[in-house]
Amino acid sequence: MRASKEKIVNLLNTAKGQISGILKMIDEDKYCIDISNQLLSLMAIIKKANQEIIEAHLEGCVKEALLNEDSSKEKLQEIMQTIYKMTK
């Protein structure tokens, strides 16, 4: 992985903390919209972590494959499949 491990771990630890908080909110029967807002915030953090990983992959692995022409077709297919999944 070429993305900043520290940045990704920090984002995912924040997400983990939010999950615990959301579970507590559910146990305490908090207001639905408040829970939904926390879920949306969690989704944004996970999306940000994925964007960081994809960006590093494009700048590293894909760029390298295109320059070396070794596996450029495979790398482009992988990234297209990932983009498709992200936009579903």
- Residue 49 CB coordination number (10 Å): 19
Is residue 73 pLDDT above 80, yes or no? Answer: yes
Please give the Cα distance from 88 to 11 (Å, whole number).
23
pLDDT at 39: 98
74 vs 71, higher pLDDT: 74
Q: How confident is the model at residue 75 (pLDDT cuts 50, 70, 90)?
A: confident
Answer with the residue of higher pLDDT: 36 or 1: 36
17-71: pLDDT as tens digits: 999 999 999 999 999 999 999 999 999 999 999 999 999 999 988 888 888 876 7
pLDDT of residue 3: 87
Q: How much is the CA Rg of the chain, to the nearest whole Å? A: 17
Q: What CATH architecture does domain 5-86 belong to?
A: Up-down Bundle (1.20)
Domain residue ranges of the chain, discontinuous segments joined by + = 5-86
Residue 66: predicted pLDDT: 85
